[in-house]
Structure 1
Amino acid sequence: MAFLHYPSANVEKKGGRTVGRQYQSVIMMIFLSLVMLGGIGSRLFYLQLVEGDRNRKLAEENRILLLPRRPARGTMFDRKGKILAGSRLSHSVSIWPIALPVEQRDQVVKRLAKLLEIPEDEIQQRIESAGYESTQSIAIARGLSPAQTTALAEYASELPGVRVEAEAIRSYPNGDLAAHVIGYTGEIDEEEYDTLADSSQDYRLGDIIGKMGSEKSFESLLRGVWGGQQVEVDSAGNVLSILGEKPPESGQNIRLTIDLELQKVAEKALGDKIGAIVAMDPRDGAILAMVSRPTFDPNIFSTRITQAQWEQLNSRGNPFLNRSLQAYPPASTFKIITTTAGIESGTFPANTVLPTFPNINAGGIVFWDWNNAGFGPLGFDGALQWSSDTFFYQVGMRMGHKPIIKWMRKYGFGAKTGIELVTEESTGLVPDDAWKQEIFEEEWYLGDTINMTIGQGYMQVTPLQTAVMFAVAANGGYRVKPHLLLDGAESQQWKTSLGMRPDTIEVIQRGLRKVVTSGTGTRLNVPTIPNAAGKSGTAEAPPYENHTWFGAYAPFEKPEVLVVAFGEHSGGGGGSFAAPMVKQVMEAYFNGPSEKDKEKSKQPKQSAG
């Protein structure tokens, strides 16, 4: 019997597997491919759908830029519509860091530094502050000269990422006139940026902001809203197409209470003397003129200020200090407060008469009257008329210092007046028992009270606070809130009654009128102005010359203007030094500027920038 022989390779052995082995590698390849495709797909899904917006943004930032456009700053006018601060056309240069090729950075910085006469490290620092990947343009210089603009155009091919464009920069057509009221603008610094970056007004590095005065106080009204163009650029930063545009919104125009013509006269009256003049409407606190010397031309800050310019400015005795808002001893102008406190405290009737003396001895210390002779018997009005020191010494010695301190505060001393220049205004100083104990670790002495009655000692008040004090006498007992923004508000919103007795007001008014008719202020007793009332003051300031004061209002019967003049270490007396300045301002207010002044004001004023 024959047997068929089957090869052993084709026999399935028990416990082994040989069927389908040739397909195993194919299956594995298909499986791995599916896993890989699934991973790639899920990654694509994540990148496109989950993080699509973010990645598209990152890609577009390399070719799409936003070219910001600065809004035109609002114009500042005086009360009659004359321009105090406006804008003029100029050119600026900026850099797009992201469009600045790495290999050309040093070359571009060196070229710009040479053309603009700016230190290389200053330009480098600006770029590094923003970051080399920044898509925002970084301002390098403003107010370019025609020669600089032309040179930048000639070297444009060597300056990738650099842009020159026309822009409006701040202009002050009257030069240094009213500089402390108007203020100036400048480029935001890092500290200011950190403070303002979170505000709702879109501040950015290189932005221009108000730095002082009304420019700073009314920044939110004047600045406007940024606009810009969204553009597509190539790798060198050249614009290929405009994708969209948002026009900038100009800032608001504002009107100040300042009268430009009266300001000019007040500036001329003070001249080159160090000090201040404030002219105010006593009915509502509107500031008509505010002068401080020394001063500066705000135009120099509209472009890059040099170190030499800065040093020259500061050599003039701190020209940026608004002396109208700085505190000094008020001298005999303060006798208005002592009169108020004496009568209102109930210690002295309004018709009180006291003897006056060459001097008074208190606690072994001799306190002299200013004329070293006394004036005989005087009432409050006569004591104001002749500014008798020994009269007010007696009032303080009998009444004590607390009623004086109370009325200092009611008149507004020791606190800011409320004027919009809040960051520049001093509160002054109202000294009391607690203050003296803290500062000197001493109790309050009788001599402190005696000095206080005549505006000497520790107290400090500003020319503006002094103007508010005179306004109380002028308007019949109301403390006004000084203000610069002319918004048409009713005067009742700007004043508060001090609740003074009618006979107190009457005595003060009568005394201040006598000062002008026959007392220490007869320089204002002239036919060129209506009947006026006022008070002089001369404050000792050893080892330096005296400070001098004079404040006055007119017409006496129905006051509409008051003027306070102050001379810092001027020497002389308030009646001789400061009163003539007050007279000049009042003459201009009631009669208009002289023909000579009118001709001078027509001539164009030279200013920097």
Structure 2
Amino acid sequence: MTTLSSLSKTKRQENVRTVGRQFQSIVITISITAFLFGGIVWRLAYLQLEQGEINQAKAEDNRIRLVPKPPVRANIFDRKGKVLATTRLSHSAYVWPKAQKQGNWSQIKQILAQILNLPPEEIQQKVEQAGFNYPSLIPIARSLTPTQITAIEEYRPQLKWVEVDIDRVRYYPNGKTAAHVLGYTGEINQEELNAKKKDGYRLGDVIGKMGVEESFESKLRGAWGGLKLEVDGSGKVLRFLGEKPPKSGKDITLTIDLEVQKAAETALGKQKGAIIALDPNNGAVIAIASYPSFDPNIFSTRITPEIWQQLQSQGNPFLNMALRGFPPASTFKVVTDTAGMESGKFPPQTVLGTYAGINIGGTYFREWNHAGFGSMGYVGALSWSSNTFHAQIGRGVGGEALIKWARNYGYGQKTGIELQGETAGLIADDAWKRLNFNDWGWTVGDTVNMSIGQGFTLATPVQVAVMFSAIANGGYRVQPHLLETDNQTKQAQRINLNLKPSTISTLRNGLRAVVTSGTGTRLNVPEIPSAAGKSGTAEAPPGESHAWFGAYAPFDQPEIVVVAFAEHSGGGGGSVAGPMVRQVMEVYFKRKVANK
């Protein structure tokens, strides 16, 4: 039975357990609130103090847009101040990077592809390459037509992430003229961007891809600028925040004479080959023509597979034939005669018999007329380009002497002209032959072949022009150059070959006789001053022969050297390449008289 005292005791115990319970919930609530409030305060402090700059930058990214302004690429002029390359205004289509995150991105891409005649995959590749956080507009297409611009505006509600802006594209007012000298420009690719990013290049940049556009990229390019705009959530511009003006590139003047350049290309016509004209006194390049060629303006728009196929159907129009090596044929006899006279073994007054052919080292070397020319000296042998005369000189001085003087004239090494893709040609020696012919060493037959410009020897038209320049200017090897420089720099580029005066005189007289009475009489015309030169016809199996002719004028005070090369022309140097040289010289001297 429960007593009254036990009930009282139980009641007291219950009262003890419930004391303060009405305050416990309040304490817990306050504690939780304080904890949560502390967390919020800590988070705010962290965001403000620790992450303030980062979050501010993110906010800026959401409301600020950078509209890049590319620099104006500098102009390129010829030596007379005529424009060779400039820029023209055009319109380009751009996409904001965040467009790819929009729900209608697929629709944007399809509409753009249809308007711009681009594969959707190409558009996708460009925006993916830039990335979602790329700070600037992404160029999608350049040189838009009025129809394309109108179409983009008609689809403006669907294309609010697309911009059309005025752009500047490269323009070559003379079309194909001097294409291999000027080169062309194009949008930077990923490999080029990786290499040039450290220099401030960015996605969508246009850079020089060939010729002086590539060689003088740092001068021509300039520096980017841009506009800083504040926009709202819909992309509407709220206010203008600032501008960094783009910095234009520096104009450059080339040594090229536009009218002589046109004459060289006209003379070459559709004959595969090259023509180069130099000032023999300082190496200034007056003209370089190469065929097949191309119009660099086509690269101001997108190159479609159809356009590319059409270009390639011409052969290789981007190959500068003036920088490629070919057998120099009888033009090399200048080197052979130099070696003969400078060695002392065959002084200037040397007279040798010439024959229908000559057996050397078990190989029969034929005279080109199959009869010989009787006894003659250097002047006559150059005039008639005797093979058997020069074979005897070559055999007498030996391969080492020929190789030495070939290299002194600049063969077997790059000339240093400011164009990419120049080859060194080839002046072979014993080590080269052993390496390439299973340790088979140099023979007297190799020497004789070299003496007449055949065998392993390869020379570029530019190198041949440098050789003729050395004879014309009195014995100095010049470095061909395209950029106008001051006279002091030009003189520093001359290397004295230390030729004997008698050697220079004999060579000059021989080259003059080529024009007056030998294989180059097609240059003996009143339209040009007295000229001196040398023809060459190179065997080129299995095709037809190559034709060469190099000349300088006036004979007494030379101011221009012209070398013409015709690949597989099938004719002789005097009959095929000689008239090309004359055409160029006629224009050069006609202009000179007109400008007096």
Bucket of the pairwise TM-score, normalised by the shorter protein: over 0.9
Shift of 1:238: 3.4
- Tell me the equivalent position of 2:267: 269
Q: How does 1:172-571 map to 2 (within 5 A)?
A: 172-199=172-199, 202-421=200-419, 423-441=420-438, 442-490=440-488, 491-571=490-570
Shift of 1:568: 0.7
What letter is aligned with 2:577?
A
What letter is aligned with 1:533?
A
Shift of 1:515: 0.9
What is the DSSP-based 3-state SS (H/G/I as helix, E as strand, rest coil) of the residue aligned with 1:413? coil
Shift of 1:427: 1.2
What is the DSSP-based 3-state SS (H/G/I as helix, E as strand, rest coil) of the residue aligned with 2:492? helix
Rounded to whole Å, the distance in 2 between the matches of 1:365 and 1:57 is 81
CA contact (8 A) 2:100 2:127 kept: no
Shift of 1:134: 2.7
- Tell me the equivalent position of 2:3: none
Confirm or deny that 1:582 pairs with 2:581.
Answer: yes
Rounded to whole Å, the distance in 2 between the matches of 1:222 and 1:161 is 32
- Tell me the equivalent position of 1:61: 61
Q: How does 1:126-137 map to 2 (within 5 A)?
A: 126-137=126-137
Rounded to whole Å, the distance in 2 between the matches of 1:240 and 1:105 is 25
* Shift in alpha-carbon separation, 1:168–1:310, aligned structure 2, 3 A: same
What letter is aligned with 1:574?
G
Rounded to whole Å, the distance in 2 between the matches of 1:545 and 1:60 is 70
Any gaps of 5 or more consecutive residues in structure 2?
A: 1-7
CA contact (8 A) 1:330 1:460 kept: yes
- Tell me the equivalent position of 1:607: none
TM-score under structure 2 normalisation? 0.93
Q: Which whole-Å deviations, capped at 9, do the CAs of 1:31-82 have from their partners, x for residues lacking one?
A: 6655555554444333222332222112221221211111111111111011
Q: Which whole-Å deviations, capped at 9, do the CAs of 1:117-148 have from their partners, x for residues lacking one?
A: 11111111111111234332111110011111
Q: How does 1:103-122 map to 2 (within 5 A)?
A: 103-122=103-122
Shift of 1:510: 1.3
What is the DSSP-based 3-state SS (H/G/I as helix, E as strand, rest coil) of the residue aligned with 1:511? helix
Residue identity over aligned pairs, in percent, reads 57
CA contact (8 A) 2:383 2:517 kept: yes
Q: How does 1:129-168 map to 2 (within 5 A)?
A: 129-168=129-168
- Tell me the equivalent position of 1:605: none
Rounded to whole Å, the distance in 2 between the matches of 1:9 and 1:244 is 83
What is the DSSP-based 3-state SS (H/G/I as helix, E as strand, rest coil) of the residue aligned with 1:198? helix
Rounded to whole Å, the distance in 1 between the matches of 2:409 and 2:36 is 85
Rounded to whole Å, the distance in 1 between the matches of 2:403 and 2:198 is 42
Rounded to whole Å, the distance in 1 between the matches of 2:210 and 2:546 is 26
TM-score under structure 1 normalisation? 0.91
Shift of 1:589: 0.9
Rounded to whole Å, the distance in 2 between the matches of 1:518 and 1:47 is 93
- Tell me the equivalent position of 2:590: 591
What letter is aligned with 1:558?
Q
CA contact (8 A) 1:161 1:236 kept: no
Shift of 1:186: 0.9
Rounded to whole Å, the distance in 2 between the matches of 1:317 and 1:173 is 24
Q: How does 1:65-80 map to 2 (within 5 A)?
A: 65-80=65-80
What letter is aligned with 2:243?
E
* Shift in alpha-carbon separation, 1:99–1:123, aligned structure 2, 3 A: closer
- Tell me the equivalent position of 2:4: none
CA contact (8 A) 1:101 1:160 kept: no
Rounded to whole Å, the distance in 1 between the matches of 2:579 and 2:544 is 19
What is the DSSP-based 3-state SS (H/G/I as helix, E as strand, rest coil) of the residue aligned with 2:565? strand
Shift of 1:196: 1.1
CA contact (8 A) 1:516 1:534 kept: yes
Rounded to whole Å, the distance in 2 between the matches of 1:576 and 1:309 is 36
Shift of 1:100: 4.7
Bigger mean CA deviation after superposition, 449-458 or 350-359:
350-359
What is the DSSP-based 3-state SS (H/G/I as helix, E as strand, rest coil) of the residue aligned with 1:157? coil
CA contact (8 A) 2:109 2:120 kept: yes
Shift of 1:11: 11
Shift of 1:160: 2.2
CA contact (8 A) 2:99 2:105 kept: no
Rounded to whole Å, the distance in 2 between the matches of 1:239 and 1:462 is 59
Rounded to whole Å, the distance in 2 between the matches of 1:450 and 1:24 is 115
Confirm or deny that 1:47 pairs with 2:47.
Answer: yes
What is the DSSP-based 3-state SS (H/G/I as helix, E as strand, rest coil) of the residue aligned with 2:484? coil
CA contact (8 A) 2:336 2:390 kept: yes
CA contact (8 A) 1:86 1:170 kept: yes
What is the DSSP-based 3-state SS (H/G/I as helix, E as strand, rest coil) of the residue aligned with 1:377? strand
Rounded to whole Å, the distance in 1 between the matches of 2:32 and 2:404 is 92
Rounded to whole Å, the distance in 2 between the matches of 1:492 and 1:589 is 23
Any gaps of 5 or more consecutive residues in structure 1?
A: 1-6, 596-609
What letter is aligned with 1:217?
S
Rounded to whole Å, the distance in 2 between the matches of 1:489 and 1:119 is 53
- Tell me the equivalent position of 1:604: none
CA contact (8 A) 1:180 1:295 kept: yes
Rounded to whole Å, the distance in 1 between the matches of 2:484 and 2:326 is 29
Bigger mean CA deviation after superposition, 391-400 or 104-113:
391-400
What is the DSSP-based 3-state SS (H/G/I as helix, E as strand, rest coil) of the residue aligned with 2:94? strand
Shift of 1:111: 0.4
Rounded to whole Å, the distance in 2 between the matches of 1:527 and 1:34 is 108
What letter is aligned with 2:220?
L
CA contact (8 A) 2:520 2:578 kept: yes
Shift of 1:498: 1.4
What is the DSSP-based 3-state SS (H/G/I as helix, E as strand, rest coil) of the residue aligned with 2:533? strand
What is the DSSP-based 3-state SS (H/G/I as helix, E as strand, rest coil) of the residue aligned with 1:355? strand
Rounded to whole Å, the distance in 2 between the matches of 1:18 and 1:154 is 78
Shift of 1:497: 0.9
What letter is aligned with 1:96?
W
Aligned residues: 584
What is the DSSP-based 3-state SS (H/G/I as helix, E as strand, rest coil) of the residue aligned with 2:198? coil
What letter is aligned with 1:521?
G
Q: Which whole-Å deviations, capped at 9, do the CAs of 1:132-179 have from their partners, x for residues lacking one?
A: 343321111100111111111111111121000111111111111111
Rounded to whole Å, the distance in 1 between the matches of 2:542 and 2:68 is 56
Bigger mean CA deviation after superposition, 43-52 or 299-308:
43-52
CA contact (8 A) 1:100 1:236 kept: no
Bigger mean CA deviation after superposition, 433-442 or 285-294:
433-442
What letter is aligned with 2:559?
E
Question: RMSD of the alignment, in Å?
Answer: 2.3
